[in-house]
């Protein structure tokens, strides 16, 4: 296989089973051309471990935030998020957002948390990592109301319509595709991926979840981001090398601190 310089722009390598075999996971990533990884925080309680990975490995970056479905841990204040994001290896706020699929009832708490993360991203001057599932209308509305475009960010693991993608692009956000884009029943998503401007495109694994074809149903890992890139190259009619170079360039343009960390 051709050796490329790829970036897995969203993974959770601190989660088991990846965290229990991290040296091998990172070696397989390197062997498949994955030069950089962004390990994304989902709780304050687990953030120190995510930060430690970024401090230990020059090619790993981290974020700070609380996933929209998390209810067992502590919610950070805007000021706390800003303080934790001051370190150069902490390149983003999130992941945050709205998830109406796994949460029900009165979700005002989820919307309030999302607003706090947007405000923290603006104050910290770092991009926002947005998770949205079955909540596209409210997600875009709150991004508009809180002026998320002033800081920008990424719609991670994107699975929504072109209309939602266009609304996010209009707010200065990038669109990131995961292994879902390779699934046989994901033709609508592949159509969105064809339309995203090249300079707003990112790739990710969301490992250990959502392994791409031909590994669907197995544990995902950063080395598999190559299959996402290959899928995008095919559906966009571009060389794999171009997709790799463009998405890596996009990563460092968005996550500005990563370039100097």
In tens, the pLDDT along 62-92 reads 999 999 999 899 999 999 999 999 999 999 9
- For residues 7-25, give the mean pLDDT: 97
Query: What's the first-to-final CA gap in the chain, in angstroms?
Result: 30
Q: How far apart are CA 121 and CA 56, in angstroms?
A: 24
Q: Is residue 220 part of a domain?
A: yes
CA angle 149, 92, 231 (to 5 degrees): 85
3-state DSSP: the chain helix, strand, coil percent, rounded to 5? 45, 15, 35
Q: Has residue 136 got a pLDDT over 60?
A: yes
pLDDT digits (tens, 9 = 90+) for 189-235: 999 999 999 999 999 999 999 999 999 999 999 999 999 999 999 99
Distance CA 120, CA 83 (A): 9
pLDDT average, residue stretch 53-64? 97
- Residue 1 in domain: no
**Cα angle 80-86-87, degrees, rounded to a multiple of 5:** 125
**Structural domain for 80, as ranges:** 6-260
Q: What is the CATH number of the domain that holds 220?
A: 3.20.20.140
Question: Contact 53/39 with Cβ under 8 angstroms?
Answer: yes
Question: By percentage, how much of the chain surpasses pLDDT 70?
Answer: 97
The number of distinct structural domains making up the chain is 1
How far, in Å, CA of 18 to CA of 44, rounded? Answer: 20
Whole-model pTM: value is 0.95
CA distance 193 to 187: 10
Q: Is residue 82 part of a domain?
A: yes
Does the pLDDT of residue 139 top 80, yes or no? yes
CA 6 from chain centre, in angstroms, equals: 14
Q: Is residue 244 part of a domain?
A: yes
pLDDT band at 2 (very low <50, low <70, confident <90, very high): low
38 part of a folded domain = yes
In a domain, 200, yes or no: yes
Q: Is the pLDDT of residue 5 over 80?
A: yes
Check whether 105 has a pLDDT greater than 80. no
In a domain, 116, yes or no: yes
Residue 123 placed within a domain: yes
């Amino acid at each position: 296989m051709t050796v490329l310089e790829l970036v897995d722009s969203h993974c959770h390598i601190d989660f088991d089973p990846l965290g229990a075999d991290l040296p091998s996971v990172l070696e397989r990533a390197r062997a498949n051309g994955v030069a950089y990884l962004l390990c994304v925080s989902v709780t304050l309680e687990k953030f120190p471990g995510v930060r430690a990975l970024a401090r230990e490995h020059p090619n790993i970056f981290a974020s700070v935030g609380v996933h929209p479905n998390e209810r067992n841990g502590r919610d950070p204040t805007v000021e706390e998020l800003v303080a934790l994001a001051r370190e150069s290896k902490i390149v983003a706020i999130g992941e945050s957002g709205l998830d109406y699929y796994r949460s029900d009832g009165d979700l005002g708490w989820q919307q309030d948390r999302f607003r706090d993360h947007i405000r923290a991203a603006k104050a910290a001057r770092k991009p926002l990592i947005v998770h949205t599932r079955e909540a596209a209308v409210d997600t875009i509305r709150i991004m508009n109301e809180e002026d998320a475009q002033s800081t920008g960010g990424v719609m991670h693991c994107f699975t929504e319509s072109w209309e939602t993608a266009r609304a996010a692009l209009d707010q200065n956000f990038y669109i990131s595709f995961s292994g879902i884009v390779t699934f046989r029943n994901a033709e609508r998503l592949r159509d969105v991926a064809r339309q995203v401007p090249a300079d707003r495109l990112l790739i990710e694994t969301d490992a250990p979840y959502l392994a791409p074809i031909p590994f669907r149903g197995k544990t995902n890992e950063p080395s598999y981001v190559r299959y996402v890139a290959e899928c995008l190259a095919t559906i966009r009619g571009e060389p794999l090398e171009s997709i790799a170079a463009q998405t890596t360039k996009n990563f460092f343009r968005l996550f500005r601190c990563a370039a100097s960390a």
